[in-house]
Amino acid sequence: MFNKPFHSTPLNDKKILITGGAGFIGSNLVEYLLKYEAKKVRVLDNFSTGHINNVKPFLHYPNFELIEGDIRNYETCVKAITDIDFVLHQAALGSVPRSIEDPITTNEVNISGFLNILTAAKNIGIKRLVYAASSSTYGDSKNLPKVEHIIGNPLSPYAVTKLVNELYAKVFSTSYQFHSIGLRYFNVFGPKQNPKGAYAAVIPLFVHSMLQKIAPSIYGDGLTSRDFTFIENVVQANIKALFADNIFESEVFNIAYGSSTTLTELWQKINAIGNVNISPNYLPERKGDIKHSLANIDKARKILDYNPEFSIDEGLAITIKWYRDNPDHFETK
């Protein structure tokens, strides 16, 4: 992974905080930054969804620091951001179904926690905040492909929280001239994504089913489609956003590959790579899910010089190999 750099600016004098750095996306960012010798990589995580095994290989690095704490505590955020140049804010409670079952906690983490990080970053005067936004912001908009300036009504509490993040970022830009970048992720997948738990994402669930040779569950008729985005593309976007020099207000960007795959097609691809032939179980559609999602990534290409290099097929091959090589990764915390 990360065999080529996505930055031209040297990292050996950069100190970077990654909130949620023990999570799936966060820990891949940690791996990249340490591989390319950032001066300091600090992680803030409360391990509610992150896993210690995601960062255990880095604990002995002299330029790595782990703070166990919660973004819902403002003083913890201040402590984490002090003496930091850049923030990659990945901490959040994901999952549409989880937000429908527990909207209060989702709101506390994703909105209050985000506001704590945003405020601390503004007050301390960091150079750039890049945060995880979400394609869920498009809500019930029928427009395809999705373009940043056309959104619909949110379909879940999770989507509301991600939209509010963008609104706060915009207000901080106009009120305080503190400009941040939101990356609207589209169905990210790859190594270090947990296949276990009630709110696991579809690709790790499907891969786990394939490896166990059991039928997966598909919600709906299987024609639901997503723009599945391999993690290395997402890391590229984060790194390029950190050092983009043409940002003059808070901006949001679609981060995806730019092609759609149905859930049935996804399972067929995983079947083929795993050399199995298992039929899935089809269940009723889930509340809050959208039917189709496909990103227009022209804005990110133009402004961030984002160029996703890994297709879903290439990403799946890497991901499945990782799960095979790391069968016990998520067994204990």
Which residues are known catalytic residues?
Answer: 158
Cβ neighbors of 179 (< 8 A, separation 6 or more) are 173, 247, 248, 249, 250, 251
64-68 and 40-45: which strand pairing? parallel
Q: Are 26 and 43 in contact (CB under 8 A)?
A: yes
Torsions phi, psi of 214, nearest 5?
-125, 155
180-185 and 64-68: which strand pairing? unpaired
**Integer Cα distance of 154 and 139 in angstroms:** 4
| Helix (H) or strand (E) run with residue 185 in it | strand 180-185
- Token couple for 126: 């960091």
**Integer Cα distance of 115 and 92 in angstroms:** 12
Q: Are 248 and 264 in contact (CB under 8 A)?
A: no
Distances in Å between the alpha carbon of 332 and those of 185, 194, 216? 28, 12, 24
**Integer Cα distance of 271 and 209 in angstroms:** 10
**Integer Cα distance of 47 and 37 in angstroms:** 25
Amino acid residing at 61: Y
Q: Are 309 and 173 in contact (CB under 8 A)?
A: no
- Token couple for 215: 């039928």
The runs of H, that is alpha helices, within the chain are 24-35, 74-81, 96-101, 103-107, 113-124, 157-176, 202-212, 231-242, 263-274, 298-304, 312-325
